[in-house]
Structure 1
């Protein structure tokens, strides 16, 4: 594990440092680009990986962050029923321009702008959760209750 963080990972660490909880970004020698890769690199259950997915709000065109358990795919119909937001797919260029990170390393925090955040209730079932930290091999550990502090997100059932 490298102790010198790359620029995007350092940006996440700097953001996390403002809280009274000791969040530590870890840069791993293995890929954490996918939930499967991250679970293998960390030796944890895939469900403990918090996938940060960026969608486009169909009405406003603004980015929406959906943080889901690594074992889930997002059901857009459930998101719409719970929030009234219709989600469209966002391409890599949109994600990088609007959020500031490349797909495969999008963290749930330290984004270019404040966005609507939707959180998967499934994540509440785990004492330890791992989230991307800005690069395809950087992560940080947190608890479900930390999402409230870090994102002010809305918890819903969103799995397909």
Structure 2
């Protein structure tokens, strides 16, 4: 069902992105890299974080660990943590392991961490633990910037 939600988002936005479904799980970054024959650094991990009130989506290369302290400092927050599975589902409409970088149920400010190779294709979840899509770093950045401008406009 969540893959349908993501496809609906793509269609509504006229984004030419193809969802690739497989019989193999892509729940973890390593699994996704193995199934789609890309380096784990090319996997986009979509990690939802919160200060308890506001939610932030941080896109991290699959081979990196999220530095919560650094992000808290950069965002000027004293309390910053990973969202729990219930919060992830409520805010994004997706379960952990299938959260795409965009197409969420609620408007969420999105940040892209350094470390992605802008010359290589990236692979990101597309709504479930066995669905992904490929995207260039440039296209990912453009979509994120557009969506963030809409979030900023709503505030």
Q: Work out whether the TM-score is over 0.5.
A: yes
Q: Aligned equivalents of 2:44 and 2:75: distance in 1? A: 20
Query: Is the Cα contact below 8 Å between 1:48 and 1:126 reproduced in 2?
Result: no
Check 1:21–1:134 CA distance in 2 against 1; reply closer, same or farther (3 A cut).
Answer: closer
Question: Larger deviation: 110-119 or 31-40?
Answer: 110-119
1:84 pairs, out of 76, 81, 90, with 76
1:104-139, Cα deviation, whole Å (9 max, x unpaired): 100111101111111112124442000000000000
1:29-48, Cα deviation, whole Å (9 max, x unpaired): 11010000100110110000
Q: Does 1:115 align with 2:108?
A: yes
Q: Does 1:138 align with 2:131?
A: yes
Q: Does 1:101 align with 2:75?
A: no
Give structure 1 stretches of 5+ with no counterpart: 1-6, 154-160
**Map of 2:59 onto structure 1:** 67
The structural deviation recorded for 1:63 is: 1.8
Identify, as 1 or 2, the structure richer in helix.
2
For 2:49, what is the secondary structure of its paired residue?
A: strand
Per the normalisation by structure 2, the TM-score is: 0.84
Q: How does 1:44-63 map to 2 (within 5 A)?
A: 44-58=38-52, 61-63=53-55
Query: Is the Cα contact below 8 Å between 1:48 and 1:123 reproduced in 2?
Result: yes
Over the aligned positions, Cα root-mean-square deviation in angstroms equals 1.7
Aligned length: 145
For 1:121, what is the secondary structure of its paired residue?
A: coil
The structural deviation recorded for 1:84 is: 2.1
Q: Aligned equivalents of 1:80 and 1:150: distance in 2? A: 24
